[in-house]
Amino acid sequence: MFTLTKSFALLATILIHFHTAAAAPTQARQPPRPSPPSGSGSQFANAPGGQRGAGGVSTAPTGSSTPQDVTTGTACAVSTATIDTSGTTLPAPSFAPSFIGLGVGTQNYTCGSAGTYTSTGALAELFDVSCLVGQSSFTSLQSTAFAAWNSSTSTAVSSTSGVLSSANVIASPITLGQHYFITNPVTGSGLSPKWDFTSNALAGNADAFVVAAKIDDVAAPTGSADVDWLYLTNLTGTTGTLANEIYRIDTQGGQPPASCTSGTADITVKYTAMYWLTGGSF
């Protein structure tokens, strides 16, 4: 009987281990849930409290994983985090922060007849840094990310996750979504910036995007090589409910050369920034 009980216990242990080992890859295929982080350099290794755990996805077998909440799309609550716009005249937020994304991407420019570059939009991947708020690495993320991205031989924004993990800026980057430009959906002309989490953190939520309008634009306090800091709000007449306000702060790079020769090819300039989204319905 003892032997039988012991054997059963051993079998149960093996089954639990098997289940644990088998569970991760299965869960990782579900879009809103990130691969469980691994290694001590993980983004979540020292995650502070306040992790969002409301959704029915908190089935991680060990304490080391921080599942991304399927409802909120971000791993740690950020509503009490403070947006630091000191050194600028950007307005204070009217809503609580809901997402903090490290943006890694490119600013595109075309050379006008006057011999100066004008913006033709931007494309960036936004990575969830909600669990890094308050950690020592948080305030330098945009710089460490820029150093890695700017020295990468690739200019493809699709390569940015690999760039961040290779340089150990974020060991296991979790993509919130993409930032890009679309034709202004209200007027049908001109470009409007869009933040779109419908393919990543909030896959399956058709309203998980915001199209915005720029309200305020100030020079980066860090210098003329860095793109401006911005304050935007959701554009009247658009349907996405991802955010009410968007801040682009802590920029690195992205500015074009001061002059160009008319007729030369468009250019792409790498940049990083911290995007803070407030309000919204997620």
Q: Which residue, among 54, 104, 26, 80, has the nearest Cα to 269 in the 3D structure?
A: 104
Q: Are 241 and 282 in contact (CB under 8 A)?
A: yes
Q: Are 127 and 102 in contact (CB under 8 A)?
A: yes
Residue 236 in the binding site for ligand NAG (CB under 6 A): yes
Residue 234 in the binding site for ligand NAG (CB under 6 A): yes
Per CB under 6 A, contacts with ligand NAG among 96-135 are 106, 108, 120-123
Applying CB under 6 A, which of residues 57, 116, 180, 214 lies at the interface with ligand NAG? 180
Applying CB under 6 A, which of residues 110, 135, 139, 150 lies at the interface with ligand NAG? 150
Q: Are 88 and 269 in contact (CB under 8 A)?
A: no
Q: Which residue, among 253, 246, 179, 197, has the nearest Cα to 217 in the 3D structure?
A: 246
Residue 262 in the binding site for ligand NAG (CB under 6 A): no
| SS3 state of residue 169 | coil
Applying CB under 6 A, which of residues 81, 135, 181, 221 lies at the interface with ligand NAG? 181
Which letter does DSSP use for residue 135 in this model? S
Applying CB under 6 A, which of residues 59, 168, 239, 281 lies at the interface with ligand NAG? 281
C-alpha dist (Å) from residue 89 to 63, 85, 212, 216: 42, 8, 20, 9
Q: Which residue, among 104, 74, 106, 89, has the nearest Cα to 230 in the 3D structure?
A: 89
Pairing of strands 191-196, 175-183: antiparallel
Query: How many Å apart are CA 171 and CA 169, to the nearest integer?
Result: 6
Residues in the interface with ligand NAG (CB under 6 A) total: 19
Residue 32 in the binding site for ligand NAG (CB under 6 A): no
Nearest distance from residue 81's CB to ligand NAG, in Å?
A: 20
What φ, ψ does residue 4 adopt, rounded to 5°? -65, -45
Site string (193-232) toward ligand NAG, x via CB under 6 A: --------------------------------x-------
Nearest distance from residue 281's CB to ligand NAG, in Å?
A: 5
Nearest distance from residue 280's CB to ligand NAG, in Å?
A: 6
Residue 154 in the binding site for ligand NAG (CB under 6 A): no
Nearest distance from residue 165's CB to ligand NAG, in Å?
A: 20
Which H or E run includes 194?
A: strand 191-196
Give me the residues that bind ligand NAG (CB under 6 A), please: 106, 108, 120-123, 150, 180-181, 225, 233-234, 236, 241, 244, 253, 268, 280-281
